[in-house]
Amino acid sequence: MKLFTALLHDEAAASAAEFALVLPLLLIFLFGIIDVGRFMWEYNRAEKATQMGVRYAVVTDPVLSGLSGYSFATSGEVPAGSAVPSTYFDSASCTSGTCSCTGSGGFCGSAGFNNTAFTNLVTKMAEMYPPIGAGNVEIDYKNVGLGFSGNPDGPDVSALVTVKLRSLNFHPITCLVFACSISMPDFNAALTLEDASGNVSN
């Protein structure tokens, strides 16, 4: 009985027991700080990949095939030297494997999906942020009235090109135990189409 009473009053391991109680909270707090830094790093890389992607998209072959070679003056009956009306070509959206085009002219019927250009774009973006896959990238082309029909030096429509990055997930260290992830926000970057020719950007 005296031994049991002595053990109850013994405080030799009290600090170790208190530390064992506090340690899980301390580790969660520490990994949480690390994860905040990792999230900001991943966010910045994804944002820069989107900016690099749109720069690549406006100076290389368009994913919307036919955009750089179609003449609205000869094929679309738009007077040479005038801006292409949005009724002839308004916009197009390209995702992995397909492009959808809106406009009542003949361009949308002849436009298609350039798989090589799309693959090159995704590869270029993945150089900056490796988790990017084909399913995360969308390219939009919007006729904003720039360019002119019959342009001999480039596309008749200098479309506003928007590269969108979607459906990316961030995996925190603290979620390794709980098997969870955090959805990252969507990223957009837009520039006006330039020469739209070749497969190298600066």
| pTM assigned to the model | 0.82
pLDDT band at 68 (very low <50, low <70, confident <90, very high): confident
The 8-class DSSP code of residue 12 comes to T
Task: Kindly report, residue by residue over 154-182, the tens digit of the pLDDT.
Answer: 888 999 999 999 999 998 887 776 678 88
Task: Kindly report, residue by residue over 120-132, the tens digit of the pLDDT.
Answer: 999 999 999 999 9
Name the residue among 191, 190, 196 with its Cα closest to residue 153.
196
Domain map (residue ranges) of the chain: 14-192
Taking a C-beta distance cutoff of 8 angstroms, is the pair 163, 50 a contact?
yes
Mean per-residue pLDDT, 98-115? 86
